[in-house]
Chain A
Amino acid sequence: MGKSATTKDAQALFHSLRSAYAATPTNLKIIDLYVMFAVVTALIQVVYMAIVGSFPFNSFLSGVLSCVGTAVLAVCLRIQVNKENKEFKDLPPERAFADFVLCNLVLHLVIMNFLG
């Protein structure tokens, strides 16, 4: 009986999560997709490393950190352009995007350097 209550709760939770998320604007959804993609890529690389080995360690590191970094920066961008975030009301989305691009540029310059 307890188990069925848990599954019911989980189902309700899932539904409410889904309905809540459906209200998200499309541009935020795109960013979410981007983040998911980056995270999944990082996970694939980690799994590959676990199977094959981490020999060119700098390549592995730059690959994973590139994905993680991209994801983190995209999350930051998402936080900044989210209309519901009161903290960033004065920040125009253009400025947020420019910062995002700059940060990405630095990140990937470093990664290209580190790739070896």
Chain B
Amino acid sequence: MAASEDAKASSLRYAFGNVIAFFILLLIGILAFSIRLFSVKSRDLQVIKYESVIHEFDPYFNYRVTQYLTKNGIYDFWNWFDDRTWYPLGRVIGGTVYPGLTLTAGTLWWILNSLNIPLSVETVCVFTAPIFSANAAWATYLLTKEVKGTGAGLTAAVLLAMVPSYISRSVAGSYDNEAVAIFALIFTFYLYIKTLNTGSLFYATLNAIAYFYMVCSWGGYTFIINLIPMHVLLCIVTGRYSSRLYIAYAPLVVLGTLLAALVPVVGFNAVMTSEHFASFLVFIIINVVALVYYIKGILLPKMFKVAVTLVISVGLVVCVAVIAVLIALVASSPTMGWSGRSLSLLDPTYASKYIPIIASVSEHQPPTWPSYFMDINVLAFLVPAGIIACFSPLSDASSFVVLYIATSVYFSGVMVRLMLVFAPAACITSGIALSAAFDVFTRSIKFQLPGLSGNSPIDAGDTSSGGVVAQNETVKTEKKEDPGKERPSRKTEKNEDLSKERPSRKNKKKEKENVEKISVKPQEEKRLLVLPLEASVIAIFLLVLLGAFYVVHCVWAAAEAYSAPSIVLTSHSHDGLHVFDDFREAYAWLRHNTEVDDKVASWWDYGYQTTAMANRTVIVDNNTWNNTHIATVGTAMSSPEKPAWEIFNSLDVKYVLVVFGGLVGYPSDDINKFLWMVRIGGGVFPHIKEPDYLRDGQYRIDSEATPTMLNCLMYKLSYYRFVETDGKGFDRVRQTEIGKKYFKLTHFEEVR
């Protein structure tokens, strides 16, 4: 009778816990969404800081593609040949773009419109990234829950919702592939772990479909198709093979390869390039291993030994032959079948040596140490603790997390943009660490304070307390998010009380059942884990402080560092906020004052924006598929006027767009990018030599500059009539007076 009542109470408690967990997840989603809106509204939520504009360069292209998709439908989209870029070559957009993001936003727009919610395509595009970051937080919860339980899941979800590295790529308006791809990445990993834990073919199918979505969204899918085989191999080598592993992996490879081959931009690469070979190799291995385990199961041990000796003697010969053939196949292609971007990941010096165009993009540079602190903040300290927590006890799932973090740390060290892949791993491990720490400390406190935990001090504190503490954390962070940051501590205390009471009720029941069963030994074990009361209280306090610091940093990063759209510049001065809208004014000028078919030449950074905002044909754009073409533009920019005019004339160019920030102090203008134009141009046309533009190895534009530099087109276009602004020609970015002040343009003229 009493037992049934207790059971009822405990099931009620579980239901209550589920409701709370659901509610918290909802709040996490709102948090993830709203923290990314700083780019639209300013901090006090009264003044609109920027409009809801699309940021950066690539998002403009994605926006343009989405517009085309919504206007012309899916079939035209697949066959779209774009003649507005890469003049005179053009570009097959449908076959060279990762369609995941575009299709997602297009579907969202279509659903909203069929529900009679008339949002513009632009609005949908702006808010796609925040929506998907909320999804990513939920996916993180699911993944971490599979690894270490609900508590760790909730903590990891909160951390991910706010991690600055991810915010930097998914603020409102940052309409780029990564926005949906990170969600797809985490969700694919979750489904893999879920399949591994349950051994269900249903989840394996879902896993393959999630992988398909990832392939649609981002080139980073190769990370998945290499990481999962690595994990499978690790499991096999460490003797953790199970039939669940087979079910999780083998269908994924077959289905995933087929699905990946369906995406036009991947196509046959899914079976032809070396990025995917690892998965096939492991597929063969796991089949062999499965067969071996099966035979081992049905044979007697003695006979199995005989079989092993037989098979090894025959099998070695076959293996050597197969591997030799494989190596010969792979080595027959010059780059070993690896694409340039992958090679630059494996050998960090590769890109700077052979492919300047990859090295020239700032997000492909290795990160600096401060950027780790900026992007993941306190998580950097929690990650090692989380890895240790993963090892106690080591399961298939937690070994996957360890492998994930180890590889992603390496990749983030090679390319700053891959910090984005590292951030979820850091959040997951930190979530595990925090949850485990809170678990230990609260259990110690409960053990030390028998009054709080009722009549069962020894068994107090099981897994559920971690969950409740993690909930604490979320409630607290939610509180912090609000403008008034006044009373997080009181709230925390209340919740802690709650957490202390709730497990104890459950423990009464446990106690009744196990009164006789609990021997002395487990008691001893529990006792060993207990820390002194003062230490645990202080430790909890410090952890809460750490969390608070993290929240403050994240809000700051979201509000100040990562939300400024690069096309609308702001500067603070003593008389208030100045907004420079020069980019959009320039594009609007092009749109209104030039003929529809005029060709505009600019460095490739501005290609996407010119096609999207000015609707004019450009020579090169940010999709850097044709190195020679870019080198041609680079050569023209670094040549004197006459040869430059000849090059541009041969390309039908009527207008040349250069971006100059020397007057207002905008540092990423064309003069600062100029050396890359020289390098890329010189890589194809050897008469452009980098040393000609450097004085003693230094890049300068003042009176010490080389004559080649002072006569090149970029210099002339940038500094034409510059001296008329202040009489001296003082460049605020380079902090120097320019070298050649008075000159006339002979082959070009300034537009007004």
Interface residues of A (CB under 8 A from B): 6, 9-10, 12-13, 16-17, 20-21, 23-24, 57-58, 61-62, 65, 68-69, 72-73, 75-77, 79-80, 84-85, 87-88, 91, 96, 99-100, 102-103, 106-107, 110-111, 113-114
Contacts and interface: CB of A to CB of B under 8 A. Distances in A.
Contacts of B242: 87
Nearest to B258: A110
Interface in B182-209: 199-202, 204-205, 208-209
A61 B242 CA distance: 29
B205 to A, nearest CB: 5
B250 interface: yes
A111 B261 CA distance: 10
B307 interface: yes
A61 B261 CA distance: 10
B531 interface: no
User: Which of B255, B259, B271 has the most chain A CB within a 10 Å cutoff?
Assistant: B255
A107 to B, nearest CB: 6
A80 B201 contact: yes
B244 A87 contact: yes
A15 B268 CA distance: 45
B205 A16 contact: no
A69 B303 contact: no
B262 A110 contact: yes
B201 A73 contact: yes
Interface stretch (B34-42, B292-300, B347-355): B292-300
B662 to A, nearest CB: 54
Given A17-B299, A85-B243, A87-B242, A80 B209 contact: no
User: Which of A61, A72, A85, A111 has the most chain B CB within a 10 Å cutoff?
Assistant: A72
Given A72-B254, A75-B246, A9 B310 contact: yes
A2 B402 CA distance: 48
Contacts of A73: 201, 251
B290 interface: yes
A114 B262 contact: yes
B520 interface: no
A6 B306 CA distance: 9
A107 B212 CA distance: 12
A66 B310 CA distance: 32
B442 interface: no
Nearest to B272: A57
A102 B310 CA distance: 40
B306 A9 contact: yes
Interface residues of B, number: 35
A69 B261 contact: no
B204 A103 contact: yes
Interface of B: 199-202, 204-205, 208-209, 242-244, 246-247, 250-251, 254-255, 257-259, 261-262, 268, 271, 287, 290, 295, 297-300, 303, 306-307, 310
Contacts of A61: 258, 261, 268, 271
12 contacts: A10-B310, A12-B306, A17-B299, A87-B243, A87-B244, A91-B200, A102-B201, A102-B202, A106-B208, A106-B209, A110-B262, A114-B258
A20 B297 CA distance: 10
Main DSSP-derived SS at the A contact region: helix
Given A12-B306, A106-B205, A107-B255, A76 B247 contact: yes
A108 B201 CA distance: 15
Contacts of A88: 199, 243
Nearest to B242: A87
Given A9-B310, A85-B243, A100 B201 contact: yes
Given A12-B306, A106-B205, A110-B262, A76 B299 contact: no
A23 B297 CA distance: 13
A69 B255 contact: yes
Given A57-B268, A114-B261, A65 B202 contact: no
Contacts of A17: 295, 298-299, 303, 307
A107 B250 contact: no
A75 B261 contact: no
Given A20-B298, A65-B257, A72-B287, 18 more contacts: A13-B306, A13-B307, A13-B310, A17-B295, A17-B299, A20-B299, A23-B298, A69-B254, A73-B201, A76-B246, A76-B251, A84-B297, A88-B243, A91-B200, A96-B201, A106-B208, A113-B262, A114-B258
A68 B147 CA distance: 31
B367 to A, nearest CB: 38
List of 7 A-B pairs having minimum Cβ-Cβ separation, nearest first: A99-B201, A69-B254, A20-B298, A79-B243, A72-B250, A99-B202, A103-B205
A20 B302 CA distance: 14
Contact of B258 (A10, A23, A65): A65
Contacts of B262: 110, 113-114
Nearest to A10: B310
Nearest to B311: A13
Contacts of B259: 110
A13 B254 contact: no
A10 B311 CA distance: 10
Given A9-B306, A69-B251, A107-B258, A16 B243 contact: no
Contacts of B246: 75-76, 79
Contacts of B300: 16
B255 to A, nearest CB: 6
B255 A77 contact: no
B268 to A, nearest CB: 6
Contact of A80 (B205, B247, B268, B310): B247
B205 A62 contact: no
Given A13-B303, A111-B258, A75 B290 contact: yes
B286 to A, nearest CB: 10
A87 B243 CA distance: 8
Contacts of A75: 246, 250, 290
Contacts of A23: 298
Contacts of B287: 72
Contact of A76 (B250, B271, B297): B250
B279 to A, nearest CB: 13
A110 to B, nearest CB: 5
A15 B245 CA distance: 31
Given A16-B299, A85-B243, A68 B310 contact: no
A35 to B, nearest CB: 11
A12 B300 CA distance: 12
Contacts of A113: 262
Nearest to A72: B250
B254 A65 contact: yes
Contacts of A13: 303, 306-307, 310
Given A79-B246, A84-B297, A102-B205, A69 B306 contact: no
Contacts of A68: 254
A107 B303 CA distance: 38
